[in-house]
Amino acid sequence: MRHRLVNDSLYLPPLMNSRLCSCLGLLAFGILTPGAARAEDGYRLWLRYDRIADEPQRAAYAAVLGQVVLATPTGTDSPTLAAARDELMTGLSGLLGIKPHITLDSSVVNAAFAEEGYNISLLARDNVNTVVITANRDIGVLYGAFALLRYVQTGRPINDFAVTEAPKIKRRLLNHWDNLTRTVERGYAGFSLWDWFALPDYRDPRYTDYARACASIGINGSVLTSVNANALVLTEPFLVKVAALADVFRPYGIRVYLTARFSAPVEIGGLSTADPLDPVVQAWWKAKVDEIYRYVPDFGGFLVKANSEGQPGPQDYHRTHADGANMLADALAPHGGIVMWRAFVYDQHVPDDRAKQAFNEFKPLDGMFRPNVFVQPKNGPLDFQPREPFHPLFGAMPRTPLALEVQITQEYLGSAVHLAFLAPMWKECLDSDTFAAGAGSTVARVIDGSVDRHADSAIAGVANTGTDRNWCGHPLAAANWYAFGRLAWDHSLSSGQIADEWTRMTFSNDPQVVQPITKMLLASREAVVNYMTPLGLHHIMATDHHYGPGPWVDNLRPDWNPVYYHRADAIGLGFDRSPAGSNAAGQYAPLVAKVYGDLALCPESLLLWFHHVPWDHQLKSGRTLWDELCLHYQAGVNEVRMWVEAWAALEGRIDQERFAHVQTLLRRQEREARWWRDACLLYFQTYSRRPLPAGVEPPEHTLDYYKGIHLRYVPGTPSEQ
C-alpha cells in the first residue's frame, strides 16, 4: 500500500484512515473487544473492505485472487491504472488478508470492448490461478477492479467473476446544486464538498474519496455548481480552482462540467447584451470556452437552466431555447464539449396547465438543436414529486438526444430525515413505455439512444452529498447515490438487486441483516407516497422548504399553490388532465394517452394526477375514493411503524453508532408520517364531509393546529441561506 505526504504530513489512504479513526474511537470508548460490532460513522460508504468472517469462503477467494493481471492494449502504466492497483491492493488485503500480486500486461488483450467496458476472466497461468481484468481503456480496468471487489464484498460465487460489462449510457453525471458560498440548494447533508476558498492550494483528500465512490458505481461526470448559476465560476480565479478538482477526478474517469449563467457576458464580460444571435456575444462565449479548456483540457461542457424561475435566458431577447443552446454548443463543439439544456420551464403568466408547458415549448423545437445539445427533462412533467407519470417529452423529440434528470437528494421526500429508497421510482420511469416507436420504446431506451439511434447519451442525478461525515445525512440515504450510479450504468438492473448489493457492502452479508434492511428499502418509496401524496396527489407540501404538508396553501403565485394541483371541492379531488380538462394526457403517444385520459383505465397510482374524481367514486377495491385515500395515508404510517420494529431487532448485529442514528430517524419519520396523514385528511375532510373509515386512526390535533406549524431554517432552502 502506497502512502503519500499531504501538506508535509503522512497521508494514509482513505480506507486505512477510516479504519484507524474507527479503531481509535472504539479504544476511546473501551469497546474494542473480540466479536464486538465496531462503531462506524458511514464515511466509507459501500467501499468497506473489512475481513470476511466466513473462513472457508475467504480461503476460497484467496486461492483465486492472489494474482491479478490488469490488461490494456498498451500495457503501460497510468494514474488510472495506479488507482486500480491501489484499490485492489487495499480491498483484497482488507477482505481476504492477502497481498495480491498485481501486474500489467498487454499480451492478453485479444477482443474489442465497448468504450469504458471490461472483461473479468479466471485463467491458469503457469499453473497459478489468475484473475485478468481486460479493457481497451484504462478506465475500463478501473471499473473492472471495482466490480471484482463488489463481487467479493457481496459474497458472489467465484464462477460469477467471469463477466463482460459495459455501460448502457455514455454520460453518467452527478449534478451538484452547490453554491460558491458552500451552501447547497436542496442539500440536506451539510455544506458543499467543494472548499472554494481553500482551492486550488489545498485539495482535501475527501475529493479523492468522492471520486473513488463515483468511479466504483460508474459515474463519469460531475457538474460542480448549482443550476441557479453564479457567473463568477467562469472567471479566471475560479477556473484555477475548477482545474484543481478536475486534476483530482481525472484518474477516476470523471470529467467536470459547469453551469453557465446565460447573462454571463453582461455580468462578467462587460457587454450590454447576452442576445445569443449577437456576433459579439457569440465571440465572447467562444473566447470564454477556449479559456476554460486551457485550464481543463477534458472539460465536459455546460448545464443550463434558462428562462425558468427567474433565471435569464434567450427568451429575454425574443429568441428560442434552440438559439441559446446552439450558441453555447457552437463554442464547445471544437473541443468536444456538450450542452445540457434543462427542459424545466414554466411561466405563471401562461394560462395552460403547468405540467404541459415544457412539452409545449420544446416539442416544436425538435430537430433544431445542434448535435452536441441534450435537452434534459426531469423524470416527470412537474418537479421531482414522490410520484409522477413519465415526462411526455420522452419519445416526443426523436431528432434530439434527451438526457434524463432525476433527483437523488430528497427535496420532496423528507430530505435526509425520511427513509426513501428511490431506485423503484427511477425504475418506474425508466421502464415506462412511451410507445413512441412502437411497443418497447421505454424511457430507458429513449435516453440510451437506442430508440432513435443517437450516438451520444446522458443521464443526470441531482446529488445528495455534503460535508456530513457519512456524506448523505441519513445513514441509509447513500443507497440512493449508489442506486443512481448502478442504474446509470445498467438500467436493466432491478431495484431488489441494487438494494441487496448496497446492504451487503454497507452493513453485512448476514441474512438476518440483509433481509430486513432490503425489505425496508424496497418498501420505503411507496410508503412515503402513501403518507404524503397517494393516488396521484402532488405538490401539496409546505411553502418554500417543501418539508411537511401544506395542502391548504393558496397565497403564492398560482402555479406554486398546492390548491392549484389538488383542486379539492365538494364534488371530489384531483387535477383534470383528461381530454375534458387540460388534456395533458394528450401529450403522450395515443396508446398512453388513451390509458391516462380515461378514468376507467388510468392506473390508480396516478388517478388524481389525471382526473378530478368524485368522493364517492368506487375504486377497484370496492371502496370509495375518500375511504381509499384515508386508508392509503394510514398504510404509509403503518409501514413506517413496522420499520421501527424491524430495525430494533437489528441491535447488536450492526454497529451501535449507525444503529442508534437510524433508529432515531425512523422514530421521527413515524411521527411525521402521522403529521402528514392527520393534516391532509383533516383538510380534505372539510370538502368530502365524510367520516374516517374503520382502520384509520383519529387525528391527534385540529386542522388549525397543523396549519399553525411553521418551520424555520430548514436545511437546503435557498431563500433562508
Q: Are residues 124 and 144 in the same domain?
A: yes
Domain-located, residue 452: yes
Residues 6 or more apart whose CB falls under 8 angstroms from that of 638 comprise none
Percentage of the residues of the chain whose pLDDT score is greater than 90: 91
Look at residue 671 and tell me whether its pLDDT is greater than 90.
Answer: yes
C-alpha closest to that of 485 among 470, 464, 508: 464
C-alpha closest to that of 675 among 703, 694, 648, 695: 703
Of the pLDDT bands very low, low, confident and very high (cuts 50, 70, 90), residue 160 is: confident
Out of 108, 138, 165, a domain closes at 165
pLDDT at residue number 670: 98
Query: Three cell numbers at 14?
Result: 482513505
Of the pLDDT bands very low, low, confident and very high (cuts 50, 70, 90), residue 38 is: low
Annotated catalytic residue 383: yes
* Alpha-carbon span 155 to 157, nearest angstrom: 7
What's the mean pLDDT in 302-314?
Answer: 97
* Alpha-carbon span 16 to 23, nearest angstrom: 10
What's the mean pLDDT in 9-24?
Answer: 36
pLDDT at residue number 718: 83
**3-class secondary structure, 361:** helix
Out of 165, 183, 213, a domain closes at 165
Q: Is 719 exposed, middle or buried (0-12, 13-18, 19+ CB in 10 A)?
A: exposed
pLDDT at residue number 107: 79
Cβ atoms within 10 Å, residue 511: 8
Annotated catalytic residue 639: no
Catalytic-role residue among 116, 138, 411, 628: 411
On whether the CB atoms of residues 332 and 296 are closer than 8 A, the answer is no
The CATH number of residue 58's host domain is 3.30.379.10
Q: Is 121 exposed, middle or buried (0-12, 13-18, 19+ CB in 10 A)?
A: middle
pLDDT at residue number 15: 38
Q: Mean pLDDT for the chain?
A: 94
Look at residue 677 and tell me whether its pLDDT is greater than 80.
Answer: yes
pLDDT at residue number 74: 87
In 130-258, alpha helices (H): 138-153, 205-216, 236-249
| CA angle, residues 628, 631, 635, in degrees to nearest 5 | 135
On whether the CB atoms of residues 573 and 612 are closer than 8 A, the answer is yes
In 217-356, alpha helices (H): 236-249, 264-267, 279-295, 321-332
Residue keyed to cell 459579439: 280
Q: Are residues 190 and 55 in the same domain?
A: no
Query: Three cell numbers at 63?
Result: 486461492
Q: Give the tens place of pLDDT for each residue, 176-220.
A: 999 999 999 999 999 999 999 999 999 999 999 999 999 999 999
Rounded to a whole number of angstroms, the CA Rg of the chain reads 26
On whether the CB atoms of residues 595 and 602 are closer than 8 A, the answer is yes
* Alpha-carbon span 72 to 144, nearest angstrom: 12
Query: Three cell numbers at 118?
Result: 471490461
Domain-located, residue 40: no
Cβ atoms within 10 Å, residue 333: 18
Percentage of the residues of the chain whose pLDDT score is greater than 70: 94
Domain-located, residue 580: no
Q: Are residues 397 and 535 in the same domain?
A: no
Buried b (16+ CB within 10 A) or exposed e, 690-707: bebeeebeebeeebeebe
Bigger pLDDT: 9 vs 406: 406
pLDDT at residue number 1: 32
Bigger pLDDT: 233 vs 13: 233
Domain-located, residue 22: no
Look at residue 306 and tell me whether its pLDDT is greater than 90.
Answer: yes
Q: Are residues 95 and 233 in the same domain?
A: no
Q: Give the tens place of pLDDT for each residue, 572-631.
A: 999 999 999 999 999 999 999 999 999 999 999 999 999 999 999 999 999 999 999 999
Look at residue 13 and tell me whether its pLDDT is greater than 80.
Answer: no
Catalytic-role residue among 278, 347, 383, 452: 383
On whether the CB atoms of residues 619 and 628 are closer than 8 A, the answer is yes
On whether the CB atoms of residues 451 and 436 are closer than 8 A, the answer is yes
Q: Are residues 159 and 176 in the same domain?
A: no
Q: Give the tens place of pLDDT for each residue, 85-116.
A: 999 999 999 999 999 999 999 877 666 678 89
Look at residue 4 and tell me whether its pLDDT is greater than 50.
Answer: no
Residue 595 has phi, psi (to 5 degrees) of -70, -50
Cβ atoms within 10 Å, residue 81: 22
Residue keyed to cell 427542459: 343
Q: Which domain holds residue 273?
A: 171-493
Residue keyed to cell 425558468: 308
Bigger pLDDT: 233 vs 110: 233
Q: Are residues 83 and 217 in the same domain?
A: no
* Alpha-carbon span 688 to 694, nearest angstrom: 16
Out of 145, 165, 185, a domain closes at 165
pLDDT at residue number 317: 98
* Alpha-carbon span 177 to 257, nearest angstrom: 12
DSSP state of 375: E
Query: Taking the alpha carbons of 400, 406, 411, 412 in that order, is the dihedral positive or negative?
Result: positive
Domain-located, residue 434: yes
Query: Three cell numbers at 253?
Result: 474517469
The CATH number of residue 630's host domain is 3.90.1330.10
Residue 176 has phi, psi (to 5 degrees) of -95, 120
On whether the CB atoms of residues 548 and 539 are closer than 8 A, the answer is no
Look at residue 24 and tell me whether its pLDDT is greater than 60.
Answer: no
Q: Give the tens place of pLDDT for each residue, 421-435.
A: 999 999 999 999 999
Beta bridge partner(s), residue 11: 4
Q: Are residues 535 and 561 in the same domain?
A: yes
C-alpha closest to that of 401 among 166, 167, 220, 169: 169
Catalytic-role residue among 309, 554, 569, 651: 309
Query: Three cell numbers at 486?
Result: 448502478
Query: Three cell numbers at 587?
Result: 401529450
DSSP state of 340: E
On whether the CB atoms of residues 306 and 313 are closer than 8 A, the answer is yes
Domain-located, residue 594: no
Q: Are residues 317 and 369 in the same domain?
A: yes
Pairing mode of beta strands 572-573, 613-614:
antiparallel
pLDDT at residue number 648: 98
What's the mean pLDDT in 67-94?
Answer: 96
Domain-located, residue 504: no
For 22, what's the count of Cα atoms within 13 Å in the CB-facing half-sphere? 22
* Alpha-carbon span 716 to 179, nearest angstrom: 11
93, amino acid identity: S
Q: Are residues 547 and 658 in the same domain?
A: yes
Q: Give the tens place of pLDDT for each residue, 572-587.
A: 999 999 999 999 999 9
Overall number of domains in the chain: 3
Q: Are residues 140 and 259 in the same domain?
A: no
Of the pLDDT bands very low, low, confident and very high (cuts 50, 70, 90), residue 373 is: very high
* Alpha-carbon span 524 to 423, nearest angstrom: 10
* Alpha-carbon span 382 to 377, nearest angstrom: 10
The conformational region for residue 202 under phi > 0 = left, psi -120 to 50 = alpha, else beta, is beta
pLDDT at residue number 16: 36
Query: Three cell numbers at 70?
Result: 490488469
Q: Are residues 139 and 245 in the same domain?
A: no
Q: Are residues 124 and 211 in the same domain?
A: no
Domain-located, residue 510: no
Of the pLDDT bands very low, low, confident and very high (cuts 50, 70, 90), residue 28 is: very low
Picking from 30-34, 171-175, 288-292, 710-714, which range would have the lowest pLDDT averaged per residue? 30-34
Q: Give a three-class secondary structure readout of 698-712.
A: CCCCCHHHHHCCCCC
Query: Three cell numbers at 107?
Result: 499480451
| Stated pTM of the model | 0.94
Bigger pLDDT: 439 vs 1: 439
